Amino acid sequence: YSFLGNRSSKTFKPKKNIPEGSHQYELLKHAEATLGSGNLRMAVMLPDGEDLNEWVAVNTVDFFNQINMLYGTITDFCTEESCPVMSAGPKYEYHWADGTNIKKPIKCSAPKYIDYLMTWVQDQLDDETLFPSKIGMSLYLDTIIYQNTSSLFNLYTLYPCLCPQGVPFKRNFMSVAKTILKRLFRVYAHIYHQHFDSVMQLQEEAHLNTSFKHFIFFVQEFNLIERKELVPLQDLIEKLTTKDR
């Protein structure tokens, strides 16, 4: 199941792939299958027995890929000339800072801001200490290897990363994930406010709306973005979510 189907293969940044055969890949497939039912409220809920950090990680990667593709479809319309500042309507303007390379917020064009933003997100997703790809690993093969071990406690002690309940996420993972999602929201906000005519021209509005609705349901389910950050699209959020309450 894909919001954009095969209609657009253009992405702004390289797609972030989840390793096939990993538990995260299985979670992604579960999410896609649930999304196919059309019930987005149900689709975003934490599956029984799963780790919240891992669920947030998988979905954050998925949202990055979705927004990456959506923005990729309108890059010809989002230029230094058309968007000299990163804005979401006349009332909201965003200045870029990542706290590392650019510590003091700088005013820049929307394409430059989004390039900074997506590059920064990509760096976070590629950081194995923040978004470990080898988590939730199956104990099946290791159980066979250690089949003479009287207690799996020894296996967990030797290889704590293999314990499903010992997923090695850093303590600041959720904080970083929230910042990523907050910043990805700004790309949605810019597209809606500044480029929706282009989206309609490309006949991608249904895909944009479905992707954004999925995103909003997810961040609402786990309180991942402060309400004040969502204000630029508050009317749209209420319109998209009211009938699903």
Binding-site residue set for Zn(2+): 78, 83, 190, 195
List the binding residues: 78, 83, 190, 195
* Contact by Cβ (8 Å): 196, 153: no
Q: How far is CA 118 from the centre of its chain?
A: 11
Cα–Cα distance for residue pair 141/67, rounded to 1 Å: 37
Enter the tokens of residue 107.
């005013």
Q: How far is CA 226 from the centre of its chain?
A: 16
Q: For 133, how many CA atoms within 13 A lie in the half-sphere containing its CB? A: 13
Cα–Cα distance for residue pair 19/14, rounded to 1 Å: 15
Cα–Cα distance for residue pair 59/82, rounded to 1 Å: 32
Task: With residue 93 as reference, give the H or E element that holds it.
Answer: strand 93-94
